[in-house]
Amino acid sequence: MVKSYLILVINPGSTSTKVALFEDKRQLFMSSISHSEDELQQFSSISDQHEFRVQIIEDMLEKNNIDIRTVDCVVARGGLLHAIPSGTYEVNDKMLHDLRKAEWGEHASNLGGIIAHDIAQEVGVAAYIVDSVVVDEMEPIARLSGMPELERRSIFHALNQKAIARRAAEELEKKYDEVNLIVVHMGGGISVGVHEKGRVVDVNNAFDGDGPFAPERAGGVPAGQLVELCFSGKYTKKEIKKRLVGNAGMVAYLGTNDMRKTKELMEAGDQNAKLVYEAMAYQVAKEVGACATVLKGKIDGIVLSGGLTYDDDFVWLIKERLRWIGRIFISHGEKEMQALAYGALRVLRGKEKVKTYS
């Protein structure tokens, strides 16, 4: 009989922590714990939150009669590290140092490896991260921006993109490393990745707001005009960054990042809301079209995923511009918890070698 594995999955966000328990690929439990602004304001940095979040997770598991001593491993969302290849990595001292010190940037996802390590240490099992946002498989030709000082970086929704790409390959009855796909993750930020035979050879930096504009991201903006804005004296560096990521995109135009509210404005006859809505879909399709040239038109499929796929009208606007390119798959929402569990399971079953962060 094949041994089954209990896998504890942790996914920290800016104001919440998702926790799940899987037996192999079967989800046994899932919960999302919200954190108020008052609770988080007591901490001077994101990494300082880890003990607070660990305690909340352990209390929640105990309340639901889940004994953490029974788990075979703990796996968490990967944070901002130096660029690494795709895969499952065991949390080690070097990774913990970089996450705690925010060596490569501060983000709530940095807590993943720290929390996983703390809990795993208690029960004597391994802690892993899977397909961090800094997965980098870009080709050298894709890194050039036009300015030697500004190399294009690979920071995107790697975990979800890789997971749904594998699923699309299964639907095509092929292996992931046998197909060419263009994968779009559409949430608060939008990333469009070129998956060529199992590697993401080109992708926009969704973390910094590159690519299509999104509910909370500016997208690629006119460079010269941005320079003028930066030196206008009206904004601080922090404020400019917020204008690019956070208070940007749909939020900047309409004052909301909620597609449902945007649809309500449209239904009430707001023509500006209609224009912004259609322009966002237009830019997504345009980015996919550009990515099609990377693959020289040899495309097995286009995959649309993320929370925005629940809006059928928005998806239709994208699809009508892309049907000529190839088959289109829809994967509603995000599959991050499953992707984390499956990444750990591949290592536990010996189907994939665990990688070392160095």
Instruction: Catalogue the E-assigned strands of the chain.
Output: 6-12, 16-23, 26-34, 73-77, 88-90, 126-130, 180-186, 190-196, 199-203, 301-306, 328-332, 355-356
Residue 43 has what pLDDT? 87
Confidence check: pLDDT of 331 > 80: yes
Task: Name 262's Cβ contacts closer than 8 Å, sequence gap at least 6.
Answer: 250, 254, 256, 273, 276, 277
135-177 tens-digit pLDDT:
999 999 999 999 999 999 998 888 899 999 999 999 999 999 9
DSSP annotation of 255 reads S
Distance CA(131)–CA(191), nearest Å, equals: 15
pLDDT at 307 over 80: yes
Q: Could you tell me if 186 and 211 are in contact, meaning their C-beta atoms sit under 8 angstroms apart?
A: no
What average pLDDT does this structure show over 245-274?
94
In the prediction, which pLDDT does 35 show?
Answer: 85
- What sign does the CA torsion over 311, 316, 318, 322 have? positive
Q: Which domains, from first to last, does the chain contain? A: 6-136+337-356 (3.30.420.40), 158-162+171-333 (3.30.420.40)
Full-model pTM: 0.87
pLDDT band at 46 (very low <50, low <70, confident <90, very high): confident
Predicted local distance difference test score (pLDDT) of residue 45: 85
Tell me which residue of 98, 299, 302, 296 sits closest to 192, measured CA to CA: 302
Closest CA to 112 of 136, 128, 92, 88: 128
Summarize pLDDT for 115-142 with one digit per residue, the tens: 999 999 999 999 999 999 899 999 999 9
